[in-house]
Structure 1
């Protein structure tokens, strides 16, 4: 077969894929076009009373329909589009996803111009609209998506002008925004204000406050909230303890972290540490160059019947390797694999990546090939990184044959398409045309497209 065949196959495959995608998009658009057209038409029939106008539409409301209407309103009618978005969010058979909140902020450039949200609220007031607490929550969630703390507070204050009483959920949104902003004075003020209007902080309130105080380095104040929680009848649980422990790990001492971890282990039940809790402490030790001490936390996990996960093991391996304790890292992997808590593929892949990160390519390649020889399946990241590093050394043919060994194992993995392009480009440049054609066919079978930086050179060489 001629060497021009791969280029022709790539072209046919790409055209087929484009046609397939276009067909799917057309079918999807057709299904929601009538509903979005109906909603959009009614928006223009009577702009003076948007909510009443929309109430007369019987079209099916779903995310595709909402997105289409937002797209049509976004260029020149942001207020109309946001009012439609708020109205859609009030329906019993539809609920905005986090994606849709993000899309609304993007289309109406809310992050660049927060005034558009305030204008909507003022328009409700000017038109004497009946606005529900749920409508205000949609506006607050838009503020949350845009990370607008001050604007969210303004919206919260406006609720009383519509004879609406803010609830705990509304306060939580604003408190969280100020905590994320680092303005703990305002967050604490709002929390105290809740008590003045007969509202009680819930678990979400306390978790936000504890995280905010910890991020601000106010560990003692965060610890003090535990007493406040109990007084409010809100008992601390693993989530709250873990939030505090994370703060202690970041800004406190390892000794204090161990004390708090001991308290959690003693409390047990709903307050007992989980794998995420233990992993946070292990990470704290590793980041401070105390990876050997972190191994002791692993023993505590086992004693409490809590098995490590891949993140736990990866964190320990990374920490040990960064301190050049490669033998200890290898021993750890063997121990974890023996217990079956984490698969051999995940454990050894993490070790391969840490060896590469620490410029131990020879050891990494030796371990990787040993994995393949023993039937242990490396993960996609390890495969991609290993082949890339070999190619960067100029050993493109070795990279090709290593990829063939991986393919022979016949397991499903998603290697970075960039790596395939780098490998194919290297083979072409070094004149390995038989291998180039073979790899090109494999890419076609897998549906992997050439990346633009390498495509022109590859086609030219072929």
Structure 2
């Protein structure tokens, strides 16, 4: 009676629908039956919205008679995606299953699992998955992949693994296999999240042992890539050796992974031998990635002659180098201070139709700075601007530091101003420090302080070097009290001074006739070191001893 009153108040009940609800569907047209299902679904959703905290309203003969898996699916869908409330959908799902003994359809399980995971409700999703298994359902490959990916991305690796193993055991009973796409994606996610041990353990413990898992070449490649990335190249070769026994043939990705792994650990000669093996292969040939990995290995070891020889050989064999290949060789020459060879490779790159990027210019600028040829580096800086290639933080740092070393402070100051106008560059102290140091040593403390102000305006926090430079600069200029203020600020932000800072400041104080202040600083630092105070406690203690108010 209460239900009928509620329905009468909330919705208009057509005569034909009333007939369907209370007398069954046997004498009603299919279109009317479908309409009644939609209408009844809306009625249930309306009740849920108004009585979300109490589901006992459904515990009566009327709803026991008319609620069914199809209605449940419609309600779950509307709650999950229409109202964005999978939590209520889950409670309704549980109530029907436990209190009304309704067996939900596979579609309801699938829909609810997805919506719960989308909202991050993985504990509820785990319960639904348990109900799903109990009712004899296992997720299809698309849902399985979604579940495994969602639980893995949420850091619930063990649950993702359990879902996969349960699916594999179910497939074994039916003589089926699990889609390799699903477990390969799981392996890839684990490797990408630096869970290499779990990936290797799952691969060895389950994929290689359960018949419903049939590893393919991609499976091996994923694990080998992870091993090579952390330097476990010999372990990767163990998997490489095991491929054939599982009917998997290595492909070019396999070889590229191993070649790159060998170069990472400095075994470039062995990597080149593997490259030769690929060159003899019938099914595929080495590509630019294969060659570039070995070339990079030689460049990092300083073997530029071998790198260029292999570079020329690559071109002769019909493999065209890309920008990354050129950049590696240019950087290799730059690191050795061979700016002429770096420029020659730069010209070859331009002649090959490739456009230089910021990495290219930064490497060549670095080579000129290393040899002290700053005029050439500045010309290259201008060329970079003409080609509309924007310098990055590292480019600015290299050029500014070199100019400061050559005492070309005004030019370094101009570059610093250019950088300050750039909103896409996050400034770091290591870029500002050389310029501040240069002006401090030149006795121009006002300019040094102006740079510090710009640094603070950009939200760049001073590091220990910044404070030390400023303290030394003000001490050298005889600005003792300003040096003390900088030291106090250093302590207030929790930046611990080192021996150079301390000795410079105390020496300055003594020269200025402030021996008692110097002794006080030394004593405070010594006491803090002996008492084993934390960094914060040391800072607070030093500030207290120097009569600085400590913020509470």
Q: Which residue number in structure 2 is paired with residue 420 of structure 1?
A: 493
SS in 2 for 1:189: helix
CA distance in 2, matches of 1:173, 1:186: 13
Q: Find the counterpart in structure 1 of residue 307 from structure 2.
A: 222
- 3-state SS of 1:147 partner: coil
SS in structure 2 at match of 1:61: helix
**Which deviates further from its counterpart, 176-185 or 253-262?**
253-262
1:15-74 CA-to-partner distances (Å, cap 9, x unmatched) read xxxxxxxxxxxx99972235567889999xxxxxxxx99999687223554664446899
CA contact (8 A) 1:214 1:247 kept: yes
Deviations 1:354-401 (A, max 9, x none): 13456837868633643688x897433355669845689875885599
> How many Å separate the matches in 2 of 1:343 and 1:29?
35
Provide closer, same or farther for how the CA distance between residues 132 and 93 of structure 1 changes in structure 2, counting only shifts above 3 A: closer
Aligned equivalent of 1:31: 121
Inter-partner Cα distance in structure 2 for 1:101 and 1:58: 16
Aligned to 2:407: 324
Structure 1's 275 and 178: CA in aligned 2 closer, same or farther, altered over 3 A? same
Equivalent of 1:103 in 191, 194, 200: 194
Question: 1:386 and 1:183 mapped to 2: Cα distance?
Answer: 38
Residue 248 of structure 2 is aligned to residue 248 of structure 1? no
Residue 305 and residue 103 in structure 1: after superposition, are their counterparts in 2 closer, same or farther (change >3 A)? Answer: closer
Instruction: Report the counterpart of residue 454 of structure 1 in structure 2.
Output: 536
Q: Per-residue deviation at 1:241? A: 0.8
C-alpha change, 1:160 and 1:226, in structure 2 (3 Å) is: same
Are the counterparts in 1 of residues 467 and 487 from structure 2 also a CA contact under 8 Å? no
Deviation by residue 1:213-233 (Cα, 9 ceiling, x = unmatched): 212333233223334333444
In 1, the alpha carbon distance for the partners of 2:242 and 2:184 equals 28
Describe the SS at the equivalent of 1:272: coil
Q: CA deviation at 1:259?
A: 1.6
Residues 185-196 of structure 1: pairs in structure 2 closer than 5 A: 185-195=269-279, 196=281
Matched-pair contact (CA < 8 Å) for 1:39–1:69: no
**2:389 counterpart of 1:295:** no
In structure 2, relative to structure 1, the CA distance for the partners of 1:96 and 1:348 (3 Å cut) is closer
> Whose relative contact order is higher, 1 or 2, with alpha carbons under 8 Å and at least 6 apart?
1
- Deviations for 1:287-323, whole angstroms, at most 9, x for unmatched residues? 3444344223223434545443443222101112133
Q: With structure 2 as the length reference, what TM-score do the two structures score?
A: 0.53
Q: How many residues align?
A: 368
TM-score normalised to the size of structure 1? Answer: 0.61
Whichever of the two has the greater Rg, that structure is 2
Question: Aligned equivalents of 1:292 and 1:88: distance in 2?
Answer: 61
Deviations 1:229-252 (CA, angstroms, capped at 9, x unpaired): 334443222221111111122236
Q: Residue 276 of structure 1: CA displacement? A: 1.3
Pair 1:333–1:363, CA change in 2 (3 A): farther
Q: 1:258, CA displacement in angstroms?
A: 1.9
- SS of structure 2 residue aligned to 1:62: helix
Task: Give me the whole-angstrom Cα distance separating, in 1, the residues matched to 2:443 and 2:331.
Answer: 34
Alignment check: 8 A CA contact 2:148 2:186 kept: no
In structure 2, the residue matched to 1:60 is 147
Tell me whether 1:273 sits opposite 2:363 in the alignment: no
How far, CA to CA, are the matches of 1:100 and 1:70 in structure 2?
A: 12
Contact 2:151 2:159 in 1 (8 A): no
1:368 and 1:89 map into 2 onto residues whose CA distance is 62
After the TM superposition, which residues 12-411 of structure 1 pair with which residues of structure 2 at under 5 Å, given as runs? 31-35=121-125, 60-62=147-149, 64-65=151-152, 68-70=155-157, 90-91=181-182, 101-105=192-196, 120-121=203-204, 130-195=214-279, 196-251=281-336, 253-267=338-352, 269=353, 271-333=354-416, 336=418, 342=422, 352-356=432-436, 360=440, 366-367=446-447, 369-370=449-450, 378-381=457-460, 388-389=467-468, 395=482, 398=485
Q: For the structure 1 residues 65 and 238, does the alpha-carbon distance in structure 2 shift closer, same or farther, using more than 3 Å as the test?
A: closer
Farther-moved stretch of structure 1 (292-301 vs 150-159): 292-301
Cα 1:53–1:261 shift into 2, 3 Å: closer
Kept in 2: contact 1:149–1:177 (CA 8 A): yes
Contact 1:355/1:364, CA 8 A, preserved across alignment: no
Distance in 2 separating the partners of 1:297 and 1:159: 50
SS in 2 for 1:360: helix
CA distance in structure 1 between the partners assigned to 2:425 and 2:203 by the alignment: 54
Contact 1:102/1:145 (<8 A) preserved: no
CA distances 1:176-223 after superposition (whole Å, capped 9, x unpaired): 000111212221122222232422222222221210121233323322
- Distance in 1, Cα, partners of 2:464 & 2:373: 27
Secondary structure of the equivalent of 2:258? helix
RMSD of aligned residue pairs (Cα, Å): 5.1
Q: Rate the CA distance shift 1:357–1:35 in 2: closer, same or farther, 3 A.
A: farther
Deviation larger for 383-392 or 59-68: 383-392
Distance 2:186 2:341 in 1: 43
